[in-house]
Amino acid sequence: MRLLRYKVNKFRSVKGTDWIEVDHLACFVGVNESGKTNLLLPLWKFNPADDATKIDLLLDYPRDEYSELDDEDSGRLDECFIETVFEIDEPEIEAIEQAYQEHITRGQSEESQNEDGGGDISKVDVNPFGITRQLLIKKDYNQRFYIYLVNEDGQSQSDDIENDIGKDAFEKICEFIPRFVYYSEYGNLDSDLYLPHVKDDLERIDSLTGKERMKARTLKILFSHLKLNPDEILSLGGEQAPNNNPAQKTQEQIDSESRNKQERYAKLDSAGTRLTKQFREWWSQGNYIFNFNADGYYFRIFVSDDERPEKIELESRSKGLQWFFSFFLVFLAERKDAHKNCVLLLDEPGLSLHPNAQTDLIRFFNQLSETNQLIYTTHLPFLVDHNNLDKVKAVYTENGLTHISNDLSKADKERKAIQPVNAAIGISASQSLLVGCDIVIVEGVSDQFYLTMIKNYLISKNKFVPTRELVFIPVGGVKGVKPVISILQGSQSSLPFVLFDSDSAGKQAQTSLKKGFYNSDKDRVLETDTYSGKNGSEIEDLIPVSLLVDCFDRIYRTDDGLELSAIDASQPIVPQLEQFGNENRLDLHNQIGWKVELSKRVKQKFSGDVDENVEQKWMELFEAIKLS
């Protein structure tokens, strides 16, 4: 099962959100105290990988309504604090269907044995899973799941189906729900561990809270993953001196203690070697070697590497390494076996990392997200992927309550939430100058989304092989082109490429540039008409019409819906979409970000299926950029 979207109804500072679209990777950006954590925790408590994690009403229920819980008739614990929509795949559908059919067969058998000819088993005449691939799943404060069928329009088409499908099928669905792994900075391990306290913390982990619980959780994972037992480590290192005089030990006692210490050393050395190999496969920032040492009641973790071969306590190494080591342990343990398809929730990762390492962390997150969906929060510009801004959600507060928006242009009035995004775009531009990337200036964010999608497609098909990184920089419309070019002009050996829409504003900007900055480089000023085969086209006219129409229709549901047959593929599509919007009172002219939202949906839904004609247009555009 794959999480498609979710919304939080009532949890801490959140009193209700719109649907939050989640792809294989999502980044929640916002200032401190905006409530980013409160959007991760309800997902974690929806189905935690750590079975000891439970809803805590004192901490999780909105504090301003907590006193009302005393009213036994309020029914507030039946409130669903979260709603999720999952997509189920074929093997899961088949397993659920089998359990459902067994439920039907049992019901029919019980009916036939009932002398009155009646039956207590509720049944549906048609297999419900043959007509859906999505399920709406809610959870209330009593930690009970509610499951509903979802139709193609994303709307619930049933009541809670538990009674209809039977207990076995219901439990089968619950079994398939991915587990959620939550990790934050305060789960970092100490390097010097007092074993009697470790033993005590592990025994009472369920009663611990906050930082102490997170550290104990990481400790538990460390010892269980390494197959080490604190009691055994203690006992193997124990010594007894008759009458407190070591000289009175018998040779048999000496040999036994020596054997025990050798065994303890072998266990610790083996555990360190195995962990070192696993960590190297996982993280490439350094060639680290981990060593474990037990001395009496103390257990210590040492780290060395090629540049610092001396063994240094983990706690004395960088905070970044400590974070990665601790997260590595949690991830490694909680993704195994039944949790291997878990969803990762990372709260403010990499705060202590150097910007270069934060950039590497983004690449690492992209790698992880190929096998595990990943959602993380940040306020750091270096942890915002400027090439995938469609994955970024803005978190902000209004009247003390947390809100989240898929549309960055509508985030908050002061736009503080998206300052890291703006900074990331600026950093991208400056880095492009320093490392010699090829820059293409485009008018807006939607152009960036589409062109990045096209670039990735052509590279995957080996139709386009860039010699250097190709970066698309949105400048906020045609008015922003000249100022950016002025900044770049003295820093590059040649002028950057510029791609304009071929609407009236784009035509005027082209003429102005070709008479000015680009008088000797007119071939670096490109327009969409050249590649779309239309007059007055925009970037959308380079995208398959059927894909655009489908995504537009899914965003703007109307009574009649937008049919592909209503679009004239020989004419620019944006004016046709705007006309449809006017006829259906969608008021697109006053929705500044509607084209950005459409481009995000197209990029997410694009499956790589394009016809030869469209692919040829894309190749011509990128060859022009490459050869100019």
In the chain, where the domains are located = 2-23+46-182, 184-240+252-334, 339-415, 421-497+504-524, 539-627
Using CB atoms within 10 Å of the CB of residue 95, give its burial: 0 to 12 exposed, 13 to 18 middle, 19+ buried. middle
**What's residue 385's pLDDT?**
83
Reduced 3-state DSSP string for 351-379:
CCCCHHHHHHHHHHHHHHCCCCCEEEEEC
Structure tokens at 33: 């105290």
Whether the Cβ atoms of residue 120 and residue 187 lie closer than 8 Å to each other: no
Ramachandran sector of residue 419 (left: φ over 0; alpha: ψ -120 to 50; beta: rest): alpha
Whether the Cβ atoms of residue 52 and residue 440 lie closer than 8 Å to each other: no
| Torsion of the alpha carbons at 243, 249, 250 and 253, rounded to the nearest 10 | 110
In which element (H, E) is residue 135 found? strand 134-140
Residues with Cβ within 8 Å of 108's Cβ and at least 6 positions away in sequence, in order, are: 119
User: How many C-beta atoms lie closer than 10 Å to residue 298's C-beta?
Assistant: 13
**What's residue 299's pLDDT?**
84
Q: Where are the beta strands (DSSP E) in 354-453?
A: 374-378, 392-398, 401-405, 438-442
**What's residue 44's pLDDT?**
94
**What's residue 430's pLDDT?**
56
Return the CATH superfamily for domain 339-415. Answer: P-loop containing nucleotide triphosphate hydrolases (3.40.50.300)
b/e 3-27 (16+ beta carbons within 10 angstroms → b): bbbbbbbbbbbbbebeebbbbbbbb
pLDDT along the chain (628 residues), means of 10: 92 91 90 89 92 84 82 67 90 81 70 47 46 83 88 64 76 89 75 80 76 78 80 75 68 83 88 87 78 85 87 82 80 65 89 76 83 90 80 86 77 60 61 64 91 93 85 83 70 78 90 87 92 93 93 82 89 92 80 83 89 92 79
DSSP per residue, 33-50: TSSSHHHHHHHHHHSBSS
Number of alpha carbons in the 13 Å side-chain half-sphere of residue 139: 19
b/e 462-481 (16+ beta carbons within 10 angstroms → b): eebeeeeebbbbbbeebeeb
Indicate the SS3 state at residue 609: coil
What CA–CA distance (Å, rounded) separates 258 from 264? Answer: 10
Q: Is the dihedral of CA 282, 284, 289, 294 positive or negative?
A: negative
Give the predicted TM-score (pTM) of the model.
0.66
Whether the Cβ atoms of residue 81 and residue 60 lie closer than 8 Å to each other: yes
**What's residue 387's pLDDT?**
73
What CA–CA distance (Å, rounded) separates 545 from 95? Answer: 37
What CA–CA distance (Å, rounded) separates 397 from 31? Answer: 9
